[in-house]
Chain A
Amino acid sequence: MRRAFILVGMVVAVLAFSAAPALAQEGQPGTETRLQERLQERWELVQKRIELIIARFNNNQQRHQETYERVRSTVEELLEWARAKGYDVSKLEQDLNTWGSMFAKFSQDYQAFIRKLEEIAGLSPEQAKGSFYAMLREARRLLQVVRQDVMDIRLFYQQTIRADIQDLKEQFPESA
């Protein structure tokens, strides 16, 4: 029984000593300000990272868009040449239009994704505390949509546009 009293006494003493500095700190007026400053600095760092990420994505998007347009423009020239030679280009023409609409979707989805990143970068530290992770999840979801668009464009080229061009080779119009 006496041992139990001693043990309880020791626990109370330990708790009292450990809680004392925290209680004293809470009362200090500068602590809250320092925490705010630290939060502000940390958030500014994240904002800068997001801006860099946006710049990198913009560069990638531009590269993709230019590449797709260049390939489409070349295929269109081939199409016009083949049409003039009497080839049946109706399927290639139709598929090129479909492919073009996929570029437009990619561009729209990309804009939605970048708008979300810009929205996150524009948050105040206080706003970020409440909604950063939810918005980041949404940005990641939008990024997946963009990536899927890129995969669709690539696959459509490989399986459809390319096949259409190869089919042209199998045709033998009289004027060719």
Chain B
Amino acid sequence: MGLVTLILLSSSLAASSCGKEEGGEVPMPSGNREMQIEVEDRSDMDSLLQELDRTMESVSPEDFSDSQLGESELGL
């Protein structure tokens, strides 16, 4: 029972991904691809952290920036 499979379903990351794919064993979440990370020991936590970082970076506070409610956006 030393195995837990962590599945990240990355169905909606394509539109927002930052394009920071760096290669390696864990693929960049994109499109409708399904990605699996298997944590068997503590060294796998690094891969997991990297993937979590990428996922968190795929969304930005700028998606809710003031400029989206600017006068030009509103056609004023």
Contacts and interface: CB of A to CB of B under 8 A. Distances in A.
| Chain A interface SS verdict (over half) | helix
Interface residues of B, number: 38
B39 A46 contact: no
B45 interface: yes
B42 interface: yes
Nearest to B4: A81
A150 B2 CA distance: 35
A168 B45 contact: yes
Query: Which has the most chain A C-beta neighbours within 10 Å: B11, B37, B41, B64?
Result: B64
Most buried by B among A63, A64, A67, A80: A67
B9 A70 contact: yes
Q: Is the interface of B mostly helix, strand, loop or mixed?
A: mixed
Contacts of A176: 41-42
A77 B6 contact: yes
Contacts, number: 101
A140 interface: yes
A78 B12 CA distance: 22
B75 interface: yes
B3 to A, nearest CB: 8
B49 A166 contact: yes
A45 interface: yes
Interface residues of A, number: 41
Interface string A101-126: 00000000000000000000000000
Contact of A49 (B7, B58, B73): B73
B4 A71 contact: no
Contact of A78 (B39, B60, B75): B39
Given A50-B74, A74-B52, A81-B4, 16 more contacts: A57-B64, A62-B12, A64-B59, A67-B12, A67-B56, A75-B52, A77-B4, A78-B4, A84-B1, A139-B69, A140-B66, A150-B60, A157-B52, A165-B52, A176-B41, A176-B42
- The 5 closest A-B CB pairs, nearest first, are A81-B4, A60-B63, A147-B64, A150-B61, A49-B75
Interface of B: 1-2, 4, 6-13, 15-16, 37, 39, 41-42, 45, 48-49, 52-53, 55-56, 58-61, 63-66, 68-69, 73-76
